[in-house]
Amino acid sequence: MRFRGPDGVQDGGVDDLPVTPLDPDTLELPEPYELLLPVEPPEVWCAGVTYERSRDARIEESGSDVYALVYEADRPELFLKDAGCRRTVAPGAAIGIRADSSWNVPEPEIGLVLGERGEIAGLTIGNDVSSRDIEGANPLYLPQAKVYAGACSLGPCVVDPVDGPLEIRLRILDGDGELWAGETSTARMRRRFDELVRWLLRDNPVPPGSVLLTGTGLVPPDDFTLEPGHRVEIHVPGIGTLANDVVLATELLAGS
């Protein structure tokens, strides 16, 4: 994990912290300490339609069978989410939703941190915030649905790769309590982590330290959309909880 304190930016584990986290899952730190991105990836990539639930949701929103074809194909859907951490925020920071979209959702995912030779060097949690109505209007609008200020968050830490499936839990809250919750497991993925990495690196110079988000199997109901003031919490046992409040992306741009 990485944090900033009176002595500047530091790296270390929970046992190395000079203070006790306010929450053992989110690793939120008391002032003046601040939890940072656990890794500053030069690039963040995403894989799409890796769960059956995601495939079905994309077909429903678009009325197109292109997502069914991708789900069954050998070649996965891969796209660039961010470069230079210009759109990726830390745990506890605000994620953004597009003001020109009426249907915004979180996408909880496992993030693969890639090493010097493209090996999976670590795991973290990622939120691939997306505008479903923009992507559903036309698949060619995917970059606009996925790439904008505050559209990605990572954290709260990076752990060593593990064998076996990972549980992923999502909670969306407002000031009155829980709005929606769900859970899934990477055991439900159609593709393996190493398979996605091999496709990503094929004829593609991905720099070490980059993160590959592996797709989501958690999709809120169609009548739900993220709004400013909501809070998204993604929990993966063994990694922790990635928590972010929601604001308009235009607010993040205005404050930059």
Task: Give the Cα separation of 236 and 242 in Å (integer).
Answer: 9
**Residues ≥6 apart with Cβ < 8 Å to 195:** 76
Does position 246 have pLDDT exceeding 70, yes or no? yes
pLDDT band at 238 (very low <50, low <70, confident <90, very high): very high
pLDDT band at 56 (very low <50, low <70, confident <90, very high): confident
Structural domain span for residue 239: 38-255
Does position 43 have pLDDT exceeding 90, yes or no? yes
Does position 93 have pLDDT exceeding 70, yes or no? yes
Quick check: is 68 in a domain? yes
Under DSSP, is residue 190 helix (H, G, I), strand (E, B) or coil? coil
What local confidence, expressed as pLDDT, does residue 256 receive?
A: 67
Least confident of 54-58, 67-71, 113-117: 54-58
Does position 36 have pLDDT exceeding 90, yes or no? yes
DSSP E strand stretches across the chain:
2-5, 8-11, 34-35, 43-48, 77-83, 88-89, 95-97, 104-105, 108-114, 120-128, 130-131, 152-159, 167-174, 177-185, 211-213, 231-236, 240-248
Quick check: is 123 in a domain? yes
- Average pLDDT over the chain reads 94
Percent of residues, the chain, with pLDDT higher than 70: 99
For the chain, how many structural domains are there in total? Answer: 1
Mean pLDDT value of segment 152-173? 97
Pairing mode, strands 231-236 and 120-128? unpaired
Quick check: is 157 in a domain? yes
For residue 130, which of 153, 107, 111 has the smallest C-alpha distance? 107
Quick check: is 161 in a domain? yes
Quick check: is 195 in a domain? yes
We report the CATH number of the domain holding residue 67 as: 3.90.850.10
**Residues ≥6 apart with Cβ < 8 Å to 237:** 166, 167
Question: Which structure tokens are listed for 172?
Answer: 């969306």
Does position 174 have pLDDT exceeding 80, yes or no? yes
Quick check: is 76 in a domain? yes
Does position 67 have pLDDT exceeding 90, yes or no? no
Question: Which structure tokens are listed for 14?
Answer: 């929970």
Quick check: is 4 in a domain? no
What local confidence, expressed as pLDDT, does residue 31 receive?
A: 94
**Residues ≥6 apart with Cβ < 8 Å to 177:** none
Instruction: Answer for the pair 103, 145: CB distance below 8 angstroms, yes or no.
Output: no
Distance from chain centroid for Cα 204: 22
- Please list, residue by residue across 97-131, b when 16 or more beta carbons sit within 10 angstroms of its beta carbon and e when fewer do: bbeebebbbbbbbbbbbbeeebebbbbbbbbbbbb
pTM (whole model) above 0.85: yes
Quick check: is 22 in a domain? no
